[in-house]
Structure 1
Amino acid sequence: MIIEDRILNLGRDLVKKKIIDLKENGLKTEPAFAKILNLKGNPYNELLKLEKLDDIEIMNLLESRY
């Protein structure tokens, strides 16, 4: 998904490390992103909803989580 790439680029090393750690522990990609972003519901659908956000909104979402 394009949104995953945007989140990784905007979140930099901290987000990348958290995603890698979760994936190494058996979580699939979309559920890992949903977990670090504290998204509720179906991870695939919730990530798709984030596609409409601009970079500033994504940064705000990331900053609210860390």
Structure 2
Amino acid sequence: MNPYTLLMAFFFVLVCVVALSVYYGLIHQPPLSRNQIKFVLFFLLATLLSLIGIFLSLSFFPLFWIK
């Protein structure tokens, strides 16, 4: 199997698990303050941008260390 496919599948599952845990964590908690919401949104944005960077680097640069 292609290593790109395995890595993409792993990160997709990771994103789904994080999204579900954040969703259920925010639903089943008391209302968050404005500062807590800003922190959660900043964390989610940073996670999303880092995953986009990983996907772009995997698509443009070959994994030369996997042979």
Q: TM-score, normalised by structure 1?
A: 0.31
Structure with the greater relative contact order (CA < 8 A, sep ≥ 6): 1 or 2? 2
TM-score by length of 2: 0.30
